[in-house]
């Protein structure tokens, strides 16, 4: 089957011509005659709490099937459902559900992103402080044993935080620093210990200062740190998103932080154990705290292009950058 495109984005370069697909595999690139449009690798979302009326923490197999179909319509072909800090007795069933999901149809589920519960009480953001815990190796092991944990956001500066980083690294689980009060020294120590990313940069962590750039300042210039960013026009001003992109370059990674309201309209929805309100493109708790987004990944790519990225760079931020953080070289690429 021919896609009818005019070019394909392959290894960061445009290959002019059409693309052929047979039985779900690419069988030809650069074919003539060319059509119109551009084929790009499928998008990879590392932080998505829910979608199209489905909250992943509470979802069953049917809910995931519905969300996967809706995510596919936005260009996502792989994603990591995100669980915010919650009561400990909620996690086992939710993790087991992900572990039992079939391979298809729809986008691949790459495992779970635990955003918490080992985060700073000073920077809980939309997380319920009642469910935030101090680093605890035994609790971490129980969570990781309950299902396919692929990514964990934690506050590395907490007592015992770096020990959890080492424990996760030994399991092959990627660690991102977020909801954190780490100063610059603590951030450097975390990245040297194996933390590989920052979660939603400039949101829910210690603020940048000229003599203490904190977590964000160190992450933006560290050559091995992925900078995960919500480019929805709500979480960051356009200039801030553009500056982060220009600084991080190929390490800049788009995430949506979408909640179950994504793809739907205004109203009241769930975010894990919490209730959120959606209006005017914002997702908020009752006190006005931002609580995720209604962003879709195709819109994030367009927004990044508007901020000054090339199409190639924006697609990289939605494909190869997240795949690299997960250590998944087969994701986010087009090849025969």
Which pair of structure tokens corresponds to residue 147? 């299902």
User: What DSSP assignment string belongs to 224-235?
Assistant: T-EEEE--SSSS
Global pTM reads 0.96
Q: Are 249 and 220 in contact (CB under 8 A)?
A: no
Q: What is the pLDDT of residue 117?
A: 98
Q: Are strands 25-31 and 18-22 parallel, antiparallel or unpaired?
A: antiparallel
Q: What whole-number distance in Å separates Cα of residue 190 and Cα of residue 168?
A: 13
Q: What is the pLDDT of residue 24?
A: 86
- What mean pLDDT do residues 5-13 have? 94
Q: What is the pLDDT of residue 36?
A: 94
104 falls in which pLDDT band (50, 70, 90)?
confident
Least confident of 8-12, 82-86, 162-166: 8-12
* pLDDT tens-digit series, residues 29-58: 999 999 999 999 999 999 999 999 999 999
- What mean pLDDT do residues 176-183 have? 98
* pLDDT tens-digit series, residues 133-147: 999 999 999 999 999
Asked if the model's pLDDT at residue 114 lies above 90, the reply is yes
Q: What whole-number distance in Å separates Cα of residue 70 and Cα of residue 154?
A: 29
Q: Are 193 and 165 in contact (CB under 8 A)?
A: yes
Closest CA to 309 of 233, 215, 242: 242
Angle at 37 between CA 311 and CA 32, to 5 degrees: 120
Which pair of structure tokens corresponds to residue 302? 């367009």
Which listed residue (141, 145, 257, 287) is catalytic?
257
Would the CA dihedral through 226, 254, 98, 83 be positive or negative? positive
Residue 287 bears catalytic tag: no
| Percent of the chain at pLDDT exceeding 70 | 100
């Amino acid at each position: 089957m021919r896609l009818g495109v005019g070019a394909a984005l392959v290894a960061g370069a445009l290959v002019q011509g059409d693309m052929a697909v047979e039985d779900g595999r690419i069988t030809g690139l650069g074919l003539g005659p060319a059509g119109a449009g551009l084929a790009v690798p499928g998008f990879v979302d590392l932080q998505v709490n829910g979608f199209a009326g489905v909250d992943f923490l509470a979802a069953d197999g049917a809910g995931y099937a519905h969300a996967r179909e809706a995510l596919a319509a936005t260009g996502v072909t792989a994603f990591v459902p995100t669980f915010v800090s919650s009561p400990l007795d909620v996690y086992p069933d939710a993790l087991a559900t992900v572990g039992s999901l079939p391979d298809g149809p729809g986008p691949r589920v790459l495992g779970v992103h635990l955003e918490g519960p080992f985060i700073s009480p000073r920077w809980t953001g939309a997380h319920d402080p009642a469910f935030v815990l101090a680093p605890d190796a035994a609790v971490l092991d129980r969570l990781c044993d309950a299902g396919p944990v692929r990514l964990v956001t934690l506050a590395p500066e907490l007592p015992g935080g770096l020990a959890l980083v080492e424990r996760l690294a030994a399991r092959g689980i990627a660690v991102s620093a977020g909801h954190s009060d780490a100063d610059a020294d603590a951030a450097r120590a975390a990245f040297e210990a194996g933390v590989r990313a920052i979660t939603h940069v400039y949101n829910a962590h210690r603020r940048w200062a000229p003599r203490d750039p904190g977590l964000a300042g160190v992450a933006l210039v560290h050559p091995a740190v992925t900078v995960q960013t919500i480019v929805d026009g709500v979480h960051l001003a356009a200039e801030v998103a553009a500056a982060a992109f220009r600084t991080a370059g190929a390490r800049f990674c788009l995430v949506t932080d979408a909640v179950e309201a994504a793809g739907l309209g205004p109203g009241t929805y769930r975010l894990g154990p919490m209730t959120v309100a959606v209006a005017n493109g914002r997702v908020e708790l009752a006190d006005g705290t931002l609580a995720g987004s209604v962003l879709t990944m195709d819109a994030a790519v367009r927004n990044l292009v508007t901020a000054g990225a090339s199409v190639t760079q924006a697609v990289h931020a939605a494909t190869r950058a997240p795949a690299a953080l997960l250590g998944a070289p087969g994701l986010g690429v087009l090849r025969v």
